[in-house]
Amino acid sequence: MTVWIAALCTLGLIVATSLLTYEILRVAWFFMSRSRHGRSRVLYALAAAFIAHIICISLYGFMYFVLATYTPLGTLRDATPDSSEPFTFILTIYFSAATYSSLGFGDIVPTGDLRLIAVIEGLNGLLLIGWSVAHSFLAMEEFWEKPLPPERRK
């Protein structure tokens, strides 16, 4: 039964992070297209992507914390035997960032059905990072060193 809870939470996180990233990148494009400042328009794209990823990592971290604290789905534990790192919200954010970016240090490991969420988070993170890279590339193509039309130079 717990695997179904993990699957539903994972599905919800995929939908939430995808919609959130879409909306943040869409709003960034809106502001980029209306900005008068040359290269700084590309910085909007980079800042928006960074903010989107930080929020997505935080959502996953919050979900790990809630599920590990209040459900029998599993927990996050320190993989080093001599460490006495306490389970904290910051630990879940750290684990989420390492998993989302597919860096995966391996010093914190999920147990139980939380492993399903961790695997899907890695895949979701790769897709969303790739999406933001494509968005940044399009922004550079559209706005980098492109002079403004005469009517917008005023």
Q: Provide the β-strand partners of residue 108.
A: 78
pTM of the model: 0.87
Q: What is the pLDDT of residues 68-100, one digit of tens each?
A: 999 999 999 888 777 677 889 999 999 999 999
C-alpha to C-alpha distances, 119 to 1, 4, 127, nearest whole angstrom: 19, 15, 13
Judged against a pLDDT cut of 70, whether residue 38 lies above it is answered with no
Query: If you count them, how many residues does the chain have?
Result: 154
Q: Which fold has domain 2-33+40-145?
A: Helix Hairpins (1.10.287)
Q: What angle do CA 134, 51, 93 make, to 5 degrees?
A: 115
Q: What is the pLDDT of residues 126-146, one digit of tens each?
A: 999 999 999 988 888 877 665
Amino acid identity at 68: A
Domain range annotation of the chain: 2-33+40-145
For the CA atoms of the chain, what is the radius of gyration?
19
